[in-house]
A and B are shown apart, each in its own frame.
Chain A
C-alpha cells in the first residue's frame, strides 16, 4: 500500500472510480474510492439501474479480496511431488517466463498426444467469453459442477420455452408470488442487490409471498406464509395445484393456451404431434369436426380439450394429454408425497388463480397486454434434482395455465446477456427451442469425446458430476482415453462436485495441473504451477449476465495498480495459446463469441496479440457503436438501462411457446436409436417425456433403505459458491448466525433422537458421511437436515477463517442414478442417517 491513514477517510478524499463488482457472477455497478493509490471503500453505483446503488455483503467485502494477505501474487511452482489434502506443496516463486514455459511444454505435450486428455475446470462466469479456450486447445472436457449444480435442468428448459436463460416473476406488477426453493429477491440468485429492493417495493405495495422450502430460509422468514415441504417434492405440490385448477376449479387461461402455445395441437397414440402429409401440425377444428393445419384455424375455433377418433386414429390435444396425466395427482395423493396438507394445496391453488385475474389486460407504454399478476418463481432447491427436467416443466406449465408467461405481472424470461431472448421461428408456428445457449448443441458421438458425456445430452447442460463415473469406469461408456492433465481456472472442482473421494482419485491421477486463480483452494493446492490472476479491482472486462430487468454492459476497470506480479486471465490464456501454436484459432473463437463476425471491421487479426483493453474496446464498439468505446465506459461506468416493455413482454411476438414438449420426446427417441446402435445399454431415457408427472426419484427410494432423513445445503447472500468462504469478514458475519454454526435439525427431531445443540453428529448417505455440531432449530422440516455451505470449506489459508470440515458434497452421489437423464442436472439433496457421535463438550 502506498500510504496508511490513522484517521477516518472522508468521502471527499481521493477519487471515486466507477466499476463493476466481481464478487459474484452478476456484476453490480460500483464506485470505488481510491486514496493515494489505495482502494478504501466500495459502494453501489446509484446511476446503475440494475442495483440502484445497493450492494450486498459480498460486494462490500470486495476490498478484502484485493488486499487479502493470503492472495497469491507471484507465479509459483510446486516442489513437493507428493500431493493430497493437507500436504504442503512447498511452493517456490518462479518467473512468468518459467511458468509459461513449463505450462506450455506440459500442456503442449498432452495436446500433441491427444488434446482430450486435458480436463478443464472453468468457473469465472463474468469472463464467460474465455470459456471457449479448452475447445480451441482441443479438449471437450468440463470438469466442474459449478453451473450444473443449480442450472443443469433450469437453463435448458428456460431456453426451450421462450428462448430465455433464466426467469423471474415480474417485480413491478406481480401481486401474488409463489416462491419455491429460491432466494430470488431475498437472499440469492439473479442480481440480488437490486432484486431485494424490487422485492421490498413490491411487498410495500401489498404483494403477497408464499414460500415453499424445507427450511425457513430468508425468503420463508419474510414471506406471508412459509410452507415446509420435503426436498425434491415441490413438483408434486405444484402438480397437485395444477390438478385443482384443471379438474376441480376448471379455471385456466383458454385464450392464452390456444393463441400462444401448442396446447391445442393434436397428439397421436404414440405421443407424437399428429401431422398432415405436408408435415403440418394439426388441430381439431370445432367448426368442421376434423383435423386441420394449425394455421388454417382461428384460435377460438381450435379444440383445447378433448379426445377424437379420426380415420381409425385416437387423437388428443396436448392439453388433454396433460389433463389426463393430472387426474391421478389429486391434492390428497400429492400430500402423501410432500407432507403438505391437501387443504393447503387447494387453498394456495385457489388464491393463485384468483390473483391471476385471467382475462384482464393492462396498457403499458401505449400497448395493451394480458395482465396476470400471479406467478410461481423457483430455482435450485426446487429443481436441482434427478428429475429436474420434470420439475422445471411442471413449474412452467403451471404458470402457463393462468397465461402468465412473459406478460405483465407474470413469470418473465431473463436473457443470458445483452442479446436478449434467442428468438427464431421453429416448426409449426413455434418459437425455436434453444436449450443450449452457452455453446452449440453437441452432436452425438460414440465413443464419446468428453469425460462428462456431453455428446449424450442433446438438450442438456454439461453434467460435470459424470466425470467421476466415466473416468473411473471408462469401459462402461466407451471412453477411449484417460485424462492426465488439468487446468483449474477460478474453479474448485474438488469442492463443487459430488463424491469428493472419487474426485480426489482423479486429482491423484493427473500428471500435471495448472491453476489460474487468485488464491489457494482445496483444488489449487494440487497444482504443479500456479498462475496468479488479477482481482476484479485490477482487471478489465465488460459484463452483462442474466440481468432480470435491465440490459447493457457495465465496465470492470482497474482502480488500483495490480498487486504483486499478476497477469489478467485473458492475457494468460492468450499467451499460452500463442506458445502452443493456436493463437489464430483462439482469436477466431473470440471473433465468433464476441459477435465480431457480424461487424467484420471489429474482427481480431488471427495472428496478432491483443490486450484485454484492446479486446473490450472492440467489444464495446461492436455492441454500442464507435461513440461508446472503452474510454466512454471508463468515464461513465456502464451503459445499463431498463429493458423496454417490447424487450420484456413476449418479445417473440406471435410465435407460440411449447406446452406439449414433443421435441424433447423426439430428441430422446433419436438418442436411444444412437446409443442402442452403439451398443450402450442402461441409459436413462425416461425423462425424455413431452409432459411432466410425478414419479419417485432415487433419493426418495433411498429412504426405504434406512436413510430416514433428507439432507439439503443452502446459502445466504454472504457467499458465492465456495469462493467467498475463505474471506475473514464474511466468514465472521456468517459465524454470528446460528444457522451457519452447525448441522441444522428440527428441535422436535433432536429431542426424539436424544440430540441437543452442540452434540457432535454424523450424517451418512449412500455416498459418504460428514460430521459436525448439531444445531437444533424450529425452522426446518422435521425430516430434513440442513447443512449451510458456509461451514463446508475444508482447506483455508487465511488465519482469520476457521476450517469447519463438514463438506456437504461428500453426501451427494454423482452417478447416472442421481442425474437427470435428459438434462444432466444433478441431484442436490441426499437421504441420510443421523447418529450422535458425542455429547456437547466431549472431544471428538
Chain B
C-alpha cells in the first residue's frame, strides 16, 4: 500500500464497492475515519474500498492485488462476522460484476449460502424496494421465506412493502404473510398494489371457508358456557370434547356443576352443530 493524494487521482468510483447496508446507527462507526480510505485500481478506475461516501485528501492505494484481495480487504475492514442478508446480496452482485468465481468465496459458505437456489435468491434481493431491504437487513429470515418473497409478482411486492410500513410485522407474521401471498397469488386482484387487510382476508378466507364458518358458530356456542372451556383436541377428527374448569373450593365446584346443568342445552347444540358439519 502506498499513500497518495487526491490530486494524483483523476476520479474515484465510490459506488461500485459500496456494499454496506446498515441503518444510521450502524453506519456511524464505519464513517468515523481514522485512516485514509483505501483504493484499488483496475483498468484505470480507482475503486474506493471503505468509508464509501467519504472524500478525503489522501488515500491508501493497494498495490499488486487483484479483485479478490480488494474484496477481502473491503469486507475485513468492515468486519465479516455480522453481515446482514442485503449486504451479502450486494457482495454477490459486486463479485459477479467483476466476473469473480463465487464458489471461491468462502464468506457465502460461512453464512450458509450454498447451492444454486440460494444464490439465485440472494441475487434477486438486490432488486427489492428499499423499505423491504431495510426490513430484511435487521431481521433474520430463512432462505425458504426469502425465496418465496422474491418470486412474488410485482404488485404483491408492493403489497409487502406497504405491509411493512403499515404493520411493522414480527418475523413470524411476515413469514406467514409472504407464504399466504405466494400460495394465493393467482387469486389476488392484480391491481392490488398496497396492503389492504380486508381485501386480502377475503382471498385468504377462501382457503378453508367451511372450517372457519364452523369455528365461528362453535365460538358463539362455547361462549355461552362461562367458566368452562370446551375444546376438541384433535381438530375434530373425533367428536370428543374436553370440558375444563378450575375450582378453588367445594362451593366453586357446586356452582360450576350447577351452571353446566343449567346450560346443558349448549352441549346438545354443539353436537348438533358438529352433526351439521359432519363431525359427529
Please indicate whether A and B come from the same complex rather than being unrelated chains: no
